[in-house]
Amino acid sequence: MAVKDVTERAAAAAVSDELVDAVVADAAEGGVDLLGPDGVLTELTKRVLERALAEEMTDHLGYEHGDPIGHGTGNNRNGTTPKQVLTEIGAVDLDVPRDRNSSFEPKIVPKGARRLERFNANIVALYARGLSTRDIRSELKRMYGVEVSPALVSKVTDGILEELTEWQNRPLDSVYPLLYIDAMVVKVRTDGTVINRPAYVVVGVDVDGRKHVLGVWLGDGGEGAKYWLAVLTEIRNRGLEDVLIVCCDGLRGLPDAIEATWPQALVQTCVIHLIRASMRLCSWKDRRTIVKGLRAVYTATNAETAAKELDELDDQWGNRYPGMIRVWRQAWEEFTPFLRFPPELRRVVYTTNLVESVHYQLRKVTKTRGHFPTDQSALKLLRLAARNITNKTGEETSAPAPTAGQEP
């Protein structure tokens, strides 16, 4: 049985139906709201927390309140200190017990803490959904009736940076049969100017067919082999010793870095990106016919047949669209590896579209931002969202092939 299920059952057992009925009945009889700053739940939370703090004090001192055994021990209770904490149901005013030696260190409401952990977790959860600082403050005011400062929201979200660094550097499996590398664009203020920056996402498919986001890196668009070698070396140092196939979008310097990191890995250029690049270089009225010709190239039985189909396409359209043919010839060495595989495996390795579902979820949390003020803020949100994706159950990795006459 999962730990969460055990915890939920224990909580349900601790709160009987009779207790709930009594609380609701007393609230109704006294005309008191269940929720809100002066509601029953707020008062109940206050009493439960104060009772827990009193028990912690008893455990700390070693004797019950009023027990004569405490005389002469050198330490005893010394009244209470008022304190307001933010909880999931709003602000709660507590009377925190203190001891004469000031050695009491409460655990349920630690010294200096003004927010319970679940309250902080709710702020992080709202931030992970892409809400801005202003939106988070409004949502907290709506849910809990408390005002929090922008600095508080930033402080809480910055508190997860260490966790995100650990996630980015977590150990990986020794082998991932498939690795996908693709980029999405985010706007980041850089040197006083808001510019488009590529956020590179690396997704690995493990031996069980589950996909995992291995990490997110922010580039400036001018990356070369040196940059990619550093990224791939970082991934290798986290335990990834071997990769069978790496599917990517012809990023400059990436094939050389892959060969240096995993010499036996096959580098496969994303066919969908090649088709899209081709469509940008031809007239709209000719696209349907050209797509049929390209389909004959990337569905050929082998590399030799694909070369013949490309030559025929060149004879037909090369004079009108030389750039389109050049796109395929320049990427030929990285395009052909998947043609040696059976059709079932080709569907998995010929495109980086597997990453699109990850990008979709990342864009959901970034689309509400006009731009990010710093690189750190961009990486913080992207890695938080990517970590949440990784923590979910993996999905099937197959991707459908584009149909003739339809731009993928």
Per-residue H/E/C for 360-381: HHHHHHHCCCCCECCHHHHHHH
- Residue-wise pLDDT for 306-332, tens only, equals 999 999 999 999 999 999 999 999 989
pLDDT band at 112 (very low <50, low <70, confident <90, very high): confident
Q: How many CB atoms lie within 10 A of CB 391?
A: 10
H helices within 212-353, ranges in order? Answer: 225-237, 254-261, 271-279, 287-298, 303-317, 322-330, 332-335, 343-349
- The secondary structure of 83-102 as a DSSP string is EEEEETTEEEEEEEEEETTS
Residue 35 Cα to chain centre, angstroms: 33
Q: Of 196, 235, 209, give the one whose Cα is nearest residue 354.
A: 209
What is the average per-residue pLDDT within 339-352?
Answer: 86
Q: Of 384, 386, 377, give the one whose Cα is nearest residue 359.
A: 386
Helix, coil or strand: residue 215: strand
Q: How many CB atoms lie within 10 A of CB 25?
A: 10
Q: Which two tokens stand for residue 295?
A: 């389909």
pLDDT at residue 401 in the model: 37
pLDDT band at 354 (very low <50, low <70, confident <90, very high): confident
Is the distance from CB of 256 to CB of 232 less than 8 angstroms? no
Least confident of 232-236, 247-251, 327-331, 371-375: 247-251
pLDDT at residue 44 in the model: 61
Q: Say yes or no to pLDDT of 141 above 90.
A: no
pLDDT band at 296 (very low <50, low <70, confident <90, very high): very high
pLDDT band at 33 (very low <50, low <70, confident <90, very high): low
pLDDT at residue 345 in the model: 85
| Sole residue written with tokens 């796109």 | 327
pLDDT at residue 398 in the model: 35
Q: Say yes or no to pLDDT of 347 above 80.
A: yes
pLDDT at residue 30 in the model: 57
90-99/211-218 β-pairing: unpaired
pLDDT at residue 45 in the model: 66
Q: How many CB atoms lie within 10 A of CB 392?
A: 8
Is the distance from CB of 245 to CB of 349 less than 8 angstroms? yes
Question: In what order do the strands lie in the sheet containing 211-218?
Answer: 211-218, 193-205, 175-190, 242-248, 266-269
Least confident of 30-39, 54-63, 158-167, 232-241: 30-39
pLDDT band at 223 (very low <50, low <70, confident <90, very high): confident
Compute the distance between CA of residue 365 and CA of residue 135 in angstroms, rounded to an integer. 13
Stronger pLDDT, 339 or 397, i.e. the higher one: 339
Supply the mean pLDDT for the chain.
80
Q: Which two tokens stand for residue 126?
A: 């709202």
341: left (phi over 0), alpha (psi -120 to 50) or beta: beta
175-190/242-248 β-pairing: parallel
DSSP H/E element including 59: helix 40-61
DSSP state of 130: T
State percent of the chain over pLDDT 70.
Answer: 80
Q: How many CB atoms lie within 10 A of CB 318?
A: 14
Q: Which of the residue ranges 6-20, 105-119, 220-234 has the most confident prediction, judged by mean pLDDT?
A: 220-234
State percent of the chain over pLDDT 90.
Answer: 29
Helix, coil or strand: residue 166: helix
Q: Say yes or no to pLDDT of 12 above 50.
A: no
Least confident of 61-75, 158-172, 229-243, 274-288: 61-75
What is the average per-residue pLDDT within 58-74?
Answer: 79
pLDDT at residue 174 in the model: 94
pLDDT at residue 27 in the model: 54
pLDDT band at 35 (very low <50, low <70, confident <90, very high): low
pLDDT at residue 167 in the model: 92
Q: Say yes or no to pLDDT of 217 above 80.
A: yes
Compute the distance between CA of residue 60 and CA of residue 53 in angstroms, rounded to an integer. 10
DSSP state of 115: B
Residues 6+ apart with CB under 8 A from 281: 321, 323, 324, 327
DSSP H/E element including 202: strand 193-205
| Sole residue written with tokens 């005013």 | 93
Stronger pLDDT, 202 or 145, i.e. the higher one: 202
- Residue-wise pLDDT for 67-88, tens only, equals 777 777 878 888 888 878 776 6
Length of the chain: 408
39: left (phi over 0), alpha (psi -120 to 50) or beta: beta
pLDDT band at 22 (very low <50, low <70, confident <90, very high): low
